[in-house]
Amino acid sequence: MSWLILAVAGLFETGWAIGLKYTQGFSRLWPTVWTVVSMLISLWLLGIAMKSLPVGTAYAVWVGIGAVGTVLLGIILFEEPTNVTRLFSVGLIIAGIIGLKFATPS
């Protein structure tokens, strides 16, 4: 269950990272509210997951999920560049997340 909670925490991390773009420097109310709420939920879920997962693994996976989600949504929503090097690098992050999952006793 901790891994599922950690994955959801990573998705909320993606939400607040993307939300930062929409806040326009925290000058827009509703994007700012969504971003702050996403931050709080993400950190709360990360804390719950860390009750039973090693801190290094949990934090690295949380950041990895957030990074992958943010890159992919940046490509989709903001037409950020897509090239082989970027996608290969995202693949390496995904491989790292999977590696940590298999290397960590649950």
Q: Tens digit of pLDDT for each residue in 10-26?
A: 999 999 999 999 999 99
Range of the domain at 70: 2-103
* Residue 105 confidence (pLDDT): 79
The per-residue pLDDT for 106 is 65
Helices marked H in 1-106 — which ranges? 2-23, 29-49, 55-78, 84-103
Residues of the chain under the 50 pLDDT cut? none
Q: How many domains does the chain have?
A: 1
Q: Is 55 exposed, middle or buried (0-12, 13-18, 19+ CB in 10 A)?
A: exposed
The Cα–Cα gap between 62 and 33 comes to: 22
Instruction: Answer positive or negative: Cα dihedral of 105, 46, 2, 21.
Output: negative
Rounded to whole angstroms, how far apart are CA atoms 38 and 17? 9
Query: Given the structure tokens 């773009």, which residue do they identify?
Result: 21
pTM to 2 decimals? 0.92
Q: Which tokens belong to 88? A: 């290969």
